[in-house]
Structure 1
Amino acid sequence: MRKLGLIGGTGPESTIIYYREITDGVRRRLGRDRFPHLSIESLDVFEVLDFCKRDDHAGLVDYLARGIADLASAGAEFAAFTGITPHVVFDEVARRSPIPIVSMLDMSLRYAADRHYGRVALLGTGPTMDGDFFQRPFRSHGIDVVTPDDEDRRYIAKAIETELEYGIVRPTTQKTLRDIAVRLAERRHAEAIVLGCTELPLAFDGIDLPVDVMDVMRIHVDALIDRIVGE
């Protein structure tokens, strides 16, 4: 098996899920009691968000690249981010990285293309919804990406930063997030709702929607398991 290095802490709740799902997934994939070797470099999601709010992409690249270098020094053969927001500077970090980085965006785009989606609705952090780093590759493959209106974007971003990053899941927040997703499906004709923050699955667990759900974390985890076991 190949050793994976994870940039964790972006945020902690999703890092815990990545660790659990990868270790359990490898054991199930192999059909025997084996766990993979992996290293986690836990960074600070709030520092990542601050870099984004200041448009300090150079500082964010340096911050993430140091984490990747630490993982490589620990023997990781490839790496991944446990949050989607760091992908705003993915290409720059990948160029500086001594080991390959598996992109959450690339895996999500492949998933959407395989299902022939024409339009998806993106939910995520402020930098993810307001930026273009997620939308751009989808557009280049003929997939339209829509986002909530300004008020709903602010609500989602606040819920992620003040609740979900701490593992807090309130029923009222779940209902509001579901209502936003349903409006995007019905009014913007989205064929799938993209959970474009790795904490959002906490809020959508057990929530029914009228369209498909793209859980980017689950898609990414499956791809990482493939690479660990050599598939």
Structure 2
Amino acid sequence: MKTIGVIAGVSWESSIDYYRILNEEVSRRLGGLHSARIAMYSVDFEDVEGPLSAGRRDQAAATIVEAGKSIQRAGADFFIICSNTMGMFTPDVEKATGMKGIFIADAVGKAIKDKGMKKVALLGTRFTMEESFYRNVLVERYGLEPMTPDDDGRKAVDDIIWHELCLGIIKDESRGKYVKIIEDLAGKGAECAALACTEIPLLIQQEHVSIPVFDSTRLHSLAAVDLALA
């Protein structure tokens, strides 16, 4: 079994689920007392999100890269960054360490393509919904057609992530906003919804909406286990 390098804490609310899923899946596949071999570094999220939001991307990237170097020294064979947005720094860590990284957008894109779907409601932070680093992977590698909410919808999705979900705050009112946004996109042709922020599955599960949802946290974790056991 390979050792999975995990760059966590972005945010820690969803990193907990990564640790659980990685171990549960290895146990399920191998049986007995088996668990995942993991080298984890949990960053102080403020050291990443603060500079990123202020436009100092190099500073945010440097924090993630240092975490990557730490897990490499701890014996990681490859790595994942436990975030859709901070996944933008996957190439930076690969370049600095020479380790292979599994970009979360690849795990999501492959799962949707494998189900034969094309039009996907893309929900995440504004960075994920509006910038090219994530969208281009879905479009160019997997032939998908991402659909995002209007500006007010993107603001609502983004605000709830940063001001509630990353702080462990779960509100029925916010769930209702997300459900309406997803159903509106479904009405415009979306065949499924990509929960492209690792905190969104804390709020939205399949039972809440009428179209299939793709949980980026779970899909990313399963892709890491696949590689660890290959």
TM-score range, shorter chain: over 0.9
**1:198 aligns to what?**
198
Report if aligned partners of 1:193, 1:214 keep a CA contact under 8 Å in 2: yes
Q: CA deviation at 1:206?
A: 5.8
Over aligned residues, Cα RMSD in angstroms? 1.5
- C-alpha distance in 2, partners of 1:214/1:205? 9
Report if aligned partners of 1:122, 1:194 keep a CA contact under 8 Å in 2: yes
* Runs of 4+ that moved beyond 6 A: none
Report if aligned partners of 1:57, 1:89 keep a CA contact under 8 Å in 2: no
Alignment of 1:102-141 (within 5 A): 102-140=102-140, 141=142
1:227 is the counterpart of 2:227: yes
Could you report, residue by residue, the CA deviation over 1:166-216 in whole angstroms, capped at 9, with x for unpaired residues? Answer: 2211111111111111111112x1111110000000101364322111111
- C-alpha distance in 2, partners of 1:147/1:52? 22
- The letter of the residue matching 2:53 is K
**1:209 aligns to what?**
209
Report if aligned partners of 1:122, 1:129 keep a CA contact under 8 Å in 2: yes
- C-alpha distance in 2, partners of 1:215/1:127? 18
Q: CA deviation at 1:3?
A: 1.2
**2:66 aligns to what?**
66
- The letter of the residue matching 2:226 is D
The alignment partner of 1:76 has SS state of coil
Report if aligned partners of 1:194, 1:213 keep a CA contact under 8 Å in 2: yes
Could you report, residue by residue, the CA deviation over 1:97-121 in whole angstroms, capped at 9, with x for unpaired residues? Answer: 2322121111212112212222111
**1:51 aligns to what?**
51
Could you report, residue by residue, the CA deviation over 1:47-92 in whole angstroms, capped at 9, with x for unpaired residues? Answer: 3333332333322222211100000111111111111111223223
Q: 94-103 vs 52-61, which deviates more?
A: 52-61
Q: CA deviation at 1:93?
A: 2.6
The alignment partner of 2:16 has SS state of helix
- The letter of the residue matching 1:16 is I
Report if aligned partners of 1:72, 1:98 keep a CA contact under 8 Å in 2: no
- The letter of the residue matching 1:26 is V
Q: 86-95 vs 33-42, which deviates more?
A: 86-95
**2:76 aligns to what?**
76
Percent identity between matched residues is 28
Q: CA deviation at 1:156?
A: 1.1
**1:161 aligns to what?**
162
**1:178 aligns to what?**
179
- The letter of the residue matching 1:174 is R
TM-score, length of structure 2 as denominator length: 0.93
Could you report, residue by residue, the CA deviation over 1:1-52 in whole angstroms, capped at 9, with x for unpaired residues? Answer: 2111211100011110011111111111112221222121111333333333
Q: CA deviation at 1:143?
A: 1.3
- C-alpha distance in 1, partners of 2:207/2:157? 16
